[in-house]
Amino acid sequence: MNRIALLPPEISQKIAAGEVIERPSSVVKELVENSLDAGAAEIRVELLDGGKRLIRVHDNGSGMSRDDALISFERHATSKISREEDLSAIRTLGFRGEALASISAVSRVTVRTWDGEEAQGVQVERAGGQLIRVSDAAFPKGTRVDVEDLFFNLPARKKFLRSDRSELSLIAKYVTNAALAYPGVRFILVHGKREIINCPAVGTLRERIFQLYGKAFLDRLAEVDGEDKVARITGFASKPLMGRPDKNHQFFFVNKRPVRDRVLQAALNQSYRGFLEKNMSPEAFLFLALPYEDVDVNVHPSKIEVRFKDSPFVFHLVLKTAGNLLLGTRTIKEIYPEAGERRLAGGVAETTDAPPLPLGVPEPPSMAKPGIPTFFAAAGVPAHVAGLQVFGQYLDTYIIMGREDALLVIDQHNAHERVLYEKYKEIGRGKDWPRRMPLIPVLIELSPSQAPALEENGPLLEEAGFRAEAMGGRTIALREFPEIFKDGEAAEVFLSLLEEMKEGGVEAKRERLLATMACKTAVKAGERLSREKMAFLVEELFKTSQPSLCPHGRPVIVKIDRSEIEKGLRRG
């Protein structure tokens, strides 16, 4: 008994349609793309029941002639490409000539259109892929497509549709995407009687973001602009520290086509490492423009994924552009532009035999640990930093500073960590760690998981100043370690570094290694600091590339605006 048979055409057509047309939002996407390809200046989308009952897309674009309107429903009927070569440089959103065929196979479709040239417009009605009626119609230039009862002839697929509300939200998401990519086009989205989106044409993306999301949202973003050779990246992305706990607000467009793309996503998220708190991700609207022949859009049925000819190039362009943005907008520097630009008198004591501090301020004993550099000024530092007055220390843990318009609360450990991390990075680049060679090597017993971690990461640790030698079994001898650690600390530090080395790529490991070394040598919470030391620490902090975050991504500074204080005291 034969089990396999060829599907009759009316079924195979539906199956193919099922791939592109999955739900109301895919219909909206295809129709709006057609309107954009037709050069519309205004696109109106009307829905009933989340698009299940009716999707109407009305545009004022080029319209179609009577013959075109009839043939547009044939599979592979398209005006956008004609030769095979066209496929390698697609300039339009559509090109497969399948959307109208697929949509009309699974719904009742009525198209009205007029191209402004023929004597009058035409109305074409189809249902389940069959032509029902063609008639003349008085219609302004443009096209209106009504799609009713989606999947009326495919009950199984209809069952998989979600609630009206969630279908609507997918549609709103797509229309938002399209509106972002085409600020010069007016978009209107109406559900029943409710207007969901209505944004008149504007000149810039900035205005469009403002229309869609409002001012508060826009204020969190900085403008992105970078180019290299033939490619350009524009758009907006989070200012440092302004991320959100998910990746839901990352929009990528390639030649104005909204896409999902791992290369762009990875590059964006990597750029923000160290500029956002732990577990936070940037918001972004990134538009990549590159020659049509450098990107293949013919790789995914609904064209939501693309393939770059040269992904590493794209990756680095994003990394570089976002990096420039981030380095250009260091939050705290923005608030205190003068910070970090003033040089203060007084040298930096990097060794322990610094002269005692002036002003008779007693030196807290914990700061006098031999071997640990303090990076604090030895003399003559006023208790002012860049226009900020140092008021004192709270709970021996937080430095309280301020000036007329705000109070700053600075976490001394996190701040010192940031300072040391950048110094260590500097030293690490030169690989010239001042080392200590203990008289008696420090013997360490490794755990079964630490032993392979050492084998794998020996060179990295050596770079950071640690030289270990195998002694047989899992015992090792630490022969050399950076001078910043005491004999008694070295073993513990070395073991925690090994723990940090268990996963990740070389660059991530190197960063974590330095961050951990900074953490181990930074002042602790609960250590009393003199005012001069506080001032010096803050001065150094503002010289770093990112004063607002410690290398582990924890915040360093809390700012309390004077207006907030006054509001609390009912003075404002």
The site for ligand ADP (CB under 6 A) is made up of: 30, 34-35, 38, 59, 61-64, 72, 77-80, 94-101, 143
Among positions 94, 183, 243, 258, the unique one binding Mg ion when judged by CB under 5 A: 94
Residue range at the interface with Mg ion (CB under 5 A); choices 86-94, 208-216, 233-241, 531-539: 86-94
Residue range at the interface with Mg ion (CB under 5 A); choices 32-40, 141-149, 262-270, 401-409: 32-40
Closest distance between ligand ADP and the C-beta of residue 94, in Å? 2
Closest distance between ligand ADP and the C-beta of residue 79, in Å? 3
Contact between 420 and 518 under an 8 Å Cβ cutoff? The reply is yes
Q: If you ran DSSP here, which 8-state letter would residue 378 be given?
A: -
Give the whole-angstrom CA distance, residue 329 versus residue 546. 9
Residues 6+ apart with CB under 8 A from 440: none
Closest distance between Mg ion and the C-beta of residue 215, in Å? 35
Nearer to ligand ADP, 78 or 271 (CB): 78
Among positions 28, 36, 45, 99, the unique one binding Mg ion when judged by CB under 5 A: 99
> Is 212 in a helix, a strand, or coil?
helix
Give the whole-angstrom CA distance, residue 459 versus residue 465. 10
Closest distance between Mg ion and the C-beta of residue 30, in Å? 5
| 34 lies in the binding site for Mg ion (CB under 5 A) | yes
Per residue, the 3-state secondary structure of 223-260, as one string, reads EEEEEECCEEEEEEEECCCCCECCCCCEEEEECCEEEC
Q: Which residue has the CB atom at the shortest distance from ligand ADP?
A: 94
Closest distance between ligand ADP and the C-beta of residue 132, in Å? 18
Give the whole-angstrom CA distance, residue 458 versus residue 24. 57
How many helices (H) and strands (E) the chain has is answered by 17, 26
Nearer to ligand ADP, 78 or 331 (CB): 78
Nearer to ligand ADP, 27 or 318 (CB): 27
Residues 6+ apart with CB under 8 A from 219: none
Q: Which phi and psi angles does 102 have, rounded to 5°?
A: -65, -45
Nearer to ligand ADP, 71 or 406 (CB): 71
Nearer to ligand ADP, 30 or 500 (CB): 30
Closest distance between ligand ADP and the C-beta of residue 54, in Å? 17
Closest distance between ligand ADP and the C-beta of residue 77, in Å? 6
Tokens (6 digits) for 313: 């190039």
Contact between 50 and 164 under an 8 Å Cβ cutoff? The reply is yes
| 17 lies in the binding site for Mg ion (CB under 5 A) | no
Nearer to ligand ADP, 20 or 514 (CB): 20
Closest distance between Mg ion and the C-beta of residue 497, in Å? 57
Contact between 489 and 483 under an 8 Å Cβ cutoff? The reply is no
Residue range at the interface with Mg ion (CB under 5 A); choices 95-103, 154-162, 211-219, 480-488: 95-103
Nearer to Mg ion, 33 or 532 (CB): 33
Nearer to Mg ion, 34 or 107 (CB): 34
Long-range contacts of 494-498 (CB under 8 A, 24+ apart): 494/444, 494/461, 494/466, 494/468, 495/444, 495/450, 496/520, 497/461, 497/464, 497/466, 498/446, 498/450, 498/453, 498/454, 498/457, 498/461
By DSSP bridging, strand 130-137 and strand 54-59 are unpaired
Residue 97 interacting entry, from Mg ion, ligand ADP, none, C-beta within 5 to 8 Å by type: ligand ADP
Closest distance between ligand ADP and the C-beta of residue 64, in Å? 5
Nearer to ligand ADP, 74 or 469 (CB): 74
Q: Which residues bind Mg ion (CB under 5 A)?
A: 34, 94, 99
